[in-house]
Amino acid sequence: MTPVDATAQPGQAPWTCPFCPLLCDSFGVALGPPGTPPSLTGSECPRARAALAAFGGAAATERPRVDGRDCDLDTALTAAASLLAASRQPLFGGLGTDVAGARALYALACETGAICDPARGAALMHGLRALQDRGGFSTTLAEVRTRADLIVCMTGEPTPRYPEFFRRCGVGEPEGARTEILPLHGDLFDTVALLAALVAGRLAADDARVPADLAALSERLHAARYAVLVYETGCLPAQGALIVEGIQRIVATLNRSTRAASLALGGDDGAATVNQVFAWLSGLPLRSRAGPAGLEHEPLCFDADRLLADGAVDLLLWVSSFGPQPALPPADLPRIVLGHPRMRLLQESEVFIPVSTPGIGSGGHLFRSDGSVLLPLRPLYDDGLPGVGEVVNRLTQAVRASRRGLAQ
Ligand code: SF4
């Protein structure tokens, strides 16, 4: 892994935006007087602007808390470690962190037998499930930009959630790809199945059951030099893996005569990165646990919402370093939060430790949504806070010490 350039000064270009998995790296940020949020330059991206508004452009003054009272970091770590050491089944949720944070969380999860599921874990599982079951053919943002001539958005317009997506793909430029939105006929399952049958020639375009716009889209997919089918994992319904498999079937059919690929947009708030790190460290994706029975991966049973609703866990460690969202879920059990400083007063928890935001107050690394590109994040300024990796590494040591103390 390439280390973050230690000689780079805070705020020095290039800046990589950490606020969605597109990781745009061609925009700038202007710093104002301390206390004012950094402002984005070169883009009107509303998502990045809203996220930057949660930062003050100066060292943070927020302190850790235990039971609602301010304390120092050592006291908070000791309190968190004793909660973790006493837990019989902890859950690590949110998981909004970078590579270093994920590596540290994996070690702590192994130490405590914790189940790990990111915020919106169900969305992450759709693509993983389809990949495990049937495999897939995907592409990168760079290849879409340089080679694709047709982009079909399978789950609607991606711009509201990923504002710079079309610009990243070169849409609107002289040689840029044409874009289409999949017209819905029935639900998404029905529509993708119909399109797959049309593309494979199992349904004739002049069949009375075939909507004319889907037949025309099938023709354009065959006529394209390089078609890319884009979908947002967060827009897929329950059992969305079946839709991903349908999309992959279309891609595979097209690849017999032309060129096509899929591109998933998802894994927000560090989820894609943590999933990659857990996969390379353990061989398993998220929704997994290193427990008494060895490594377990349970894509349905290890759903954080389900575990909390069923009372199947007795402690929640929530990580959200990129902003106050994703918010700590309400739950009647001890909660430890490693979060953005503004979470301090928003959400009551037994232990709160403010952590640095990679790409704002400290360096780091994140994987982009297309999975194969790991980008370094450079700080805009020093926020004076410890990173998730540092806090969790210390927590792991403290849990071990706490266990030794309990055993004596
Ligand atoms: S699209 Fe995503 S990565 Fe790009 S500037 Fe907006 S929030 Fe940042």
Side-chain-facing half-sphere of 14: CA atoms under 13 Å: 10
Question: Cα angle at 140 between 258 and 236, to 5 degrees?
Answer: 90
pLDDT value, residue 8: 46
In this structure, are 256 and 276 located in the same domain? no
In this structure, are 82 and 130 located in the same domain? no
- How remote is the CA of residue 17 from the centroid of ligand 1, in Å? 6
Q: Of all protein residues, whose CA lies closest to atom 7 belonging to ligand 1?
A: 48
In this structure, are 333 and 351 located in the same domain? yes
Q: What are 215-262's pLDDT values in tens digits?
A: 999 999 999 999 999 999 999 999 999 999 999 999 999 999 999 999
SS3 state at 93: strand
> How many domains is the chain partitioned into structurally?
2
DSSP 146-183: HH-SEEEEBTB--TTTSTTHHHHTTTTSTTPPEEEEPP
For residue 58, tell me if it sits in a domain.
Answer: no
- Total-model pTM: 0.93
In this structure, are 246 and 144 located in the same domain? yes
Does residue 10 have a pLDDT over 90? Answer: no
In this structure, are 74 and 177 located in the same domain? no
For residue 59, tell me if it sits in a domain.
Answer: no
For residue 288, tell me if it sits in a domain.
Answer: yes
- How remote is the CA of residue 259 from the centroid of ligand 1, in Å? 28
CATH of the domain at 224: 3.40.228.10
Cβ atoms 234, 120 nearer than 8 A: yes
Bond before 118 cis per omega within 30 degrees: no
Strand 150-153 versus strand 178-181 pairing type: parallel
For residue 296, tell me if it sits in a domain.
Answer: yes
For residue 273, tell me if it sits in a domain.
Answer: yes
Domain that holds residue 230: 124-265
Residue reference for tokens 């301010």: 70
Does residue 7 have a pLDDT over 50? Answer: no
In this structure, are 229 and 144 located in the same domain? yes
In this structure, are 183 and 255 located in the same domain? yes
Q: Is the dihedral of CA 21, 93, 276, 7 positive or negative?
A: positive
Q: Which atom of ligand 1 is nearest to the CA of 164?
A: 1
In this structure, are 255 and 130 located in the same domain? yes
Side-chain-facing half-sphere of 232: CA atoms under 13 Å: 20
- How remote is the CA of residue 120 from the centroid of ligand 1, in Å? 19
Ligand 1 binding residues, C-beta < 6 A: 17, 19-20, 22-24, 27, 43, 45, 47-48, 162-164
**Edge-to-edge strand order for the sheet containing 115-116?**
69-70, 65-66, 351-354, 335-339, 315-320, 90-96, 115-116, 288-291, 294-297
Cβ atoms 270, 321 nearer than 8 A: yes
pLDDT value, residue 407: 62
In this structure, are 290 and 190 located in the same domain? no
For residue 368, tell me if it sits in a domain.
Answer: yes
